[in-house]
């Protein structure tokens, strides 16, 4: 009887999207945008240099070696060879989650065993593995009448297995936690950010127009949002109730009632970076007493009326909201600045 179960296909999608996230974090300084299910390959990165990285991803849903590894390798080469002949690129990747990416005996794939992400240049593989792969490469070159660039070709094995989500995604989540640590964010946000990225990449991949990519700035917005959103445990703004001229209850009421509005403003990346830039200029031209955030907000809040203005708000409420928004952004400026540097925005 024919098997109609699609779990292996869904697993393949899951693997593909997580490979994209891992490589995005690996190449975060160099990329401009990413597309899963691109025009030419499973995963495509547009780099700041104008070149691309092409990735072909093949997976196996159960543990162990893949008896069809060489067949999958050949299938992957058939699309990679076209990608490499049609576009400017820097690297070509074949990525799997099984330890024998090109098949063969165990002695052929020991270089990919170790329980972590392992990347190898094609020409550093054992001679027996190179011969095995070159045989398939030459067959494809002949059938497609194209040349394959082995000098810029790399093979990657990335563990991705198990029925428990946290186990399956352990390598990706660990990579994301390292990234969050570098921008002074708590590791506990990793799961939330990972799920947002997975959803965004899946939605983008489902768009039939393969020219629509996700920019690095779009992908970094959730990090800014989580960093700046007003949460139950976030009492930063309430510390400034005296400076705002309101009592604690009034501040809490305004934050509660206008939380969505405040969050939308603080997550506006261009606006947040402008405020941080203005504050940096302010600090350079004022004495020590006037360099603090309180002084800057109280003296400069009205400079941002046009950027935040809404017809439905009276002047007094607008003033209070602007101050809260500025306090919020500036109290998170370290994370925002570190992220700008870390991801090269």
Structure confidence at residue 4 (pLDDT): 45
Structure confidence at residue 45 (pLDDT): 97
Q: Which residues of 76-111 are buried (b: 16+ CB within 10 A; e: fewer)?
A: bbeebbbbbeeeebebbbbbbbbbbbbbbeeebbeb
Can you give the pLDDT of all 345 residues of the chain as single tens digits? 555 455 678 899 999 999 999 999 999 999 999 999 999 999 999 999 999 999 999 998 887 777 888 899 999 999 999 988 877 899 999 999 988 888 876 656 678 877 789 999 999 988 888 998 999 999 999 999 999 999 999 999 999 998 899 999 999 999 999 999 988 888 999 999 999 999 999 999 999 999 999 999 899 988 877 876 644 444 444 455 666 666 777 778 888 898 888 888 887 888 888 999 999 999 888 887 777 888 898 899 999 999 887 777 888 888 888 988 898 888 888 777 888 888 888
277 neighbors 340 (Cβ within 8 angstroms):
no
Sign of CA dihedral 311, 312, 314, 320: negative
Structure confidence at residue 112 (pLDDT): 81
Is the entire prediction scored with pTM above 0.75?
Answer: yes
Structure confidence at residue 67 (pLDDT): 83
Structure confidence at residue 275 (pLDDT): 93
Q: Which domains does the chain have, with CATH numbers?
A: 7-163 (3.40.1350), 229-343 (no CATH)
Of 108, 107, 143, 105, residue with least CA distance to 129: 108
Burial class (CB in 10 A: 0-12, 13-18, 19+), 314: exposed
Structure confidence at residue 239 (pLDDT): 57
Structure confidence at residue 179 (pLDDT): 94
Helix, strand, coil distribution of the chain in percent, nearest 5: 60, 10, 30
Three-class secondary structure of residue 2 per DSSP: coil
Three-class secondary structure of residue 127 per DSSP: helix
207 neighbors 197 (Cβ within 8 angstroms):
no
Structure confidence at residue 151 (pLDDT): 94
37 neighbors 205 (Cβ within 8 angstroms):
yes
C-alpha–C-alpha distance, residues 267 and 297, integer Å: 18
DSSP string, 31-85: EEEEEES-SSSSEEEEETTS-EEEEEEE--SSSS--TTHHHHHHHHHHHHHHHHH
C-alpha–C-alpha distance, residues 100 and 206, integer Å: 30
Tokens linked to 165: 């989500």
Of 226, 336, 215, residue with least CA distance to 275: 336
Q: What is the 3-state secondary structure (H, E, C) of 189-229?
A: HHHHHHHHHHHHHHHHHCCCCCCCCEEHHHHHHHHHHHHHC
Neighbour tally for 205: CB within 10 Å = 19
- Which H helix or E strand runs over 93? strand 89-96
- Pairing relation of β-strands 153-157 and 31-36? unpaired
Structure confidence at residue 107 (pLDDT): 56
């Amino acid at each position: 009887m024919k098997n109609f179960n699609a779990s292996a296909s869904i697993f393949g999608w899951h693997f593909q999207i997580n490979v994209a996230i891992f490589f995005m974090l690996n190449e975060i300084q160099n990329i401009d945008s990413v597309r899963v299910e691109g025009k030419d390959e499973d995963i495509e990165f547009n780099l700041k240099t104008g070149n691309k990285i092409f990735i072909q991803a093949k997976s196996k849903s159960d543990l162990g070696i893949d008896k069809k590894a060489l067949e999958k390798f050949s299938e992957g080469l058939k699309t990679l060879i076209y990608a490499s002949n049609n576009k400017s690129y820097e690297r070509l990747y074949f990525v799997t989650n099984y330890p024998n990416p090109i098949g063969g005996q165990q002695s052929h794939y020991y270089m990919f065993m170790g329980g972590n992400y392992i990347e190898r240049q094609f020409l550093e593989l054992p001679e027996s593995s190179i011969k095995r792969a070159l045989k398939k490469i030459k067959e494809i070159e002949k059938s497609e009448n194209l040349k394959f660039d082995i000098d810029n070709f790399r093979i990657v094995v990335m563990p991705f297995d198990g029925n428990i989500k946290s186990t399956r995604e352990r390598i990706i989540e660990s990579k994301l936690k390292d990234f969050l640590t570098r921008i002074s964010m708590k590791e506990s946000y990793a799961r939330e950010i990972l799920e947002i990225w997975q959803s965004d990449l899946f939605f983008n991949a489902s768009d039939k127009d393969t020219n629509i990519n996700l920019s690095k700035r779009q992908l970094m917005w959730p990090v800014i949002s989580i960093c700046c959103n007003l949460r139950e445990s976030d009492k930063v703004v309430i510390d400034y109730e005296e400076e705002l001229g309101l009592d604690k209850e009034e501040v809490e009421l305004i934050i509660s009632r206008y939380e969505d509005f405040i969050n939308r403003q603080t997550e506006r990346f261009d606006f947040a970076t402008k405020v941080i830039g203005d504050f940096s200029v302010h600090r350079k031209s004022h004495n020590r007493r006037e360099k603090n955030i309180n002084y800057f907000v109280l003296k400069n809040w009205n400079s941002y009326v046009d950027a935040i203005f809404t017809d439905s708000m009276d002047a007094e409420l607008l003033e209070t909201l602007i101050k809260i928004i500025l306090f919020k952004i500036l109290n998170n400026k370290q994370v925002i600045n570190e992220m700008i540097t870390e991801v090269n925005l």
